[in-house]
A and B are shown apart, each in its own frame.
Chain A
Amino acid sequence: MLVEIRLRPGIADPQGSTIERALPALGFDGFSGVGVGKAIRFAVDGPDEDSARARVEELCRRFLANPVIEDAEVTLSAAGTP
C-alpha cells in the first residue's frame, strides 16, 4: 500500500520552490513544477481490494493527510508485489 501526500494546489510549497531554485546552479536546466510531499508505505489485511482501499482512504481522511492543506493518493498492490 502506498499513500502519497501532496500539498493542495494553491498551498505554498517552500521546500519544492527552494529545490527548484537550486537546480540551475547544479547544471540541471528545464525542471519545473517541483513539489515535495510524503510517501507512506504499509501493508493492510483485508478480504478484497475495495474494502482495503476504503479503509485506507478513511485513514487518510482522519489522520494521514490534513484536508485543509493536503491531498492523499492511494496506490494499492497485492501482497508480495512491490
Chain B
Amino acid sequence: MSAQPKFTRRQALKLMGVGTFSAYLAACAAPAGSSDMADSEMPAGEKKTISISHIGGGSVEASEKSQRMMLLRANFPDIEFENRWVSYAGYLDKIPVQIASGDLADLQFCNAFNDIPLMMENQIIIETGPLLEQFGKNILAVTPEPAWASTIYDGKQYAVTHNVYDLNNMCAHYRADWLDKLGLGLPQTIDEYGEVMRAFSHGDPDGNGQDDTYGRLLYNSVRFDDDFFHAFGVAVGHHLNGFWRDRDGRLELDWVQPGMKDALAWMSSVWADGGFHPDSISIPLGQKDNAFHAGIAGNVYSGWPSIDFAQNKIRAVAPDAVVMAGPAPEGPGGSGYTGEGWPWTFVIPITAQWPEDCVSVIDWFFTPDVASQILCEGVLGVTNKGLNENGWCVEYTPEEKAAMGDEWTQKQNEVQDINVFWGLWLTIGTLGGTQPFPTFPPDMKKHFDDMLAAKYSENALAGRDISQEYRRLTAKARPVSSEKEFWPTLQTRFGEFISQAVAGTIDIDQGWSEWLDFFEKNGGPLLTEQVNEI
C-alpha cells in the first residue's frame, strides 16, 4: 500500500490554512509606519499614545507596577502610555539595533555621548529647544546650563532632559579598622597610598596570621581607577571613555600624555609588590567589589552611597569593620576622581506623533509636588513610609529598617524587581544621588535634607563631600564625527595596553612607544583636531 492516498485534500487544505494563518500573524506583527497625524487634533473618544523606552526595574512587569509609572498613568488619563522597558544589562546592545531599525520610542532614553551622535547621523530625532521653552519650564529650572552642551548640534538642542543627579559619586573606600591596626592614617599622597596598599597585602591587617589579604581591587582592566591616574595629571575617563584637558589652549587626550606612562609605571610597581588583588584586573566587572565585601581586600574605588552597604556586608565576617572614604591621593600631577558628567537623556524621534505631550509628560515629573513624591528610595508605602501630611514621601531610617528585622527583608523581597531605579528610570535620581531641587520651597527642601542626613552614616556623607570635592570632568563637551570610525579601535588598544602594562606582561617603554604610534596611525590626530573644532 502506498502512503500517498492517506494525505487527503482536506488535510492539504488544513495545512494551507495553517500557512495562511501564519502569514496573517506575521503581517499583524509588522511594525506600523509613522502616522501623518502629527500635530493634528485627536479624534473624539480616542487616546493619544506615547511610548517610553527606559531601563529601570527588573522587568517590564516590575516597572509597570512601580509608583512612578502608576503616577504617570493616573495623571494623564487621556494618554495611553506604552511601556517599552529594556533591561539595564541589555541596553548597550539594544539601543544600536533600535537606532538602525528606527524602532525608537516616542520618549527614548539614551546616552548623550554614545547614542545621540548615531541618532543624529541617521537623522531620526527632532530638535527640542523650542519645545522645552514652551512645555519644559520645570525641566529647564532644575537643569544646569552646562548639562545641555552634550546634546547641542549645529546650535540646536536635541534632548528633553539631562540627568540632574550627581556628576560624580565615586571615591576610594578604605577599611579604616585595618588602617588603625597597621598604625597608618588615610593616605594623602600617592606614595603613602602605595605604602598602604603594600601594608594591606603583607601586614596581616585582619590578624589571622595568614598572608591572605590584598590592598586594592582594580576596576576590571584598569578602566576606571582614575584616582591613581589623576595623581599623575592624566585619567582614562569614566568606563574608559577618554579624558581631555586643556593644555596650553588646546584640548589633548590624556591617554597620550607622558603622565600616563608614569602612572602606569607606578601602578605596575605596586602590582609587582602584590598591592593589588591579582584577580581584579581580569574578573567580570560585576564581581569587582566581592573581595572587598568578603573582607579580603582593604580598598576599592566605588560610589559613596555604597559605603554603608559595604560596611554591613563586611561586618558579617569582620564585626568591627569600618569603611570610610579617603581623599584622592596627591601626586606630581595633582589629584582627582573622574566624574560621569551628564550622559543620560530622553530624546524624541521624528516618528513621535505628540512631541509636545512628550515634553509635558517629563516636565510634569520635575514639578516640585511630583518630584517630592518620587525622590524617595523604595516603593511607596512598602519599602518606604509613603507620603506625609504634605504629600512628600518619607523613607525609613537605617535604624528603623534594622528594627524591622525579618519584616524588612520580606518587604524588600516583595518589591525587589522594582527597585532597579525604581521602575521607571527618569533623569531624576533618588535621594542620595539627587539633591532637593532648587525649585523646592524651603520647608520641602528641609524635609529632604533632614531625611538625607538620617539616611546615611557620617562616613558615607563624608564620602559624598569627598567625591564632590575631587570631581574632575573631561573638557570634551560632545562627540565628534570621526569617533565612530576610530574610537572603538583606539579604546580597545588602549585598554589592552594599560592593563598589560600594569600587570607587567609587557615592557612599558616598548608598549608606550607602540601605543603612541598606534594612536598616530589610527585616527588620533584627526580626532584631536575635531575635538578642538567644537
Binding between chains A and B: no
